[in-house]
Amino acid sequence: MAKPTFVTPADIIGTAAPGPYTEDGRLDLTVPGAQAKVIVVGLSFKANTWVVKAGDKISVDITNCATFAHNFVSPDLGVPAANKINIGAAAPSTTVTFTAPTKPGKYMFWCSTQPPGALSHAERGMTGEVIVQ
């Protein structure tokens, strides 16, 4: 299966996702007490753009509404592929916790799940961005 072509955003710091990114909802986590809830529908994180403050500890509850499993990977947020966070199929929420980088900029996350003989979920657009202020 041919991998899709896409252009990695030029302003990404660190590791780019292995697939295309298009904003699909935004969470502003810079406000104290902001709700950090994301749902997975099909092959997308809804909201997939998170705005955070540099150095803050971030916790996001992700609920998978799909009937198949996903995961969360972001080497630059301290979640490398070897330590990916599994998000079970049609499961109660899974909490993703990380400390935002101290360098302002844009960092990416994605789902690395790859069904046999198919493109990975990230290659199909299951990607997101953390904007550090």
Distances (CA, A) of 17 to 32, 80, 89: 29, 12, 22
Per-residue pLDDT reduced to its tens digit, 34-89: 889 999 999 999 999 999 999 999 999 999 998 999 999 999 999 999 999 999 98
User: Residue 45 is part of which domain span?
Assistant: 26-132
| Position 107 in a domain | yes
Please indicate, yes or no, if residue 119 is contained in any of the structural domains: yes
Reported confidence tier of residue 22, pLDDT bands at 50, 70, 90: very high
**2 lies in some domain:** no
Residue 1 within a domain? no
**Banded model confidence at residue 12, pLDDT cuts 50, 70, 90:** very high
Q: What DSSP state is assigned to residue 29?
A: T
Looking at residue 99, which CATH number applies to its domain? 2.60.40.420
Check residue 1 and give its pLDDT. Answer: 61
Q: What is the pLDDT of residue 2?
A: 65
Which residue did the predictor score with more confidence, 16 or 1?
16
Largest CA distance in the chain: 45
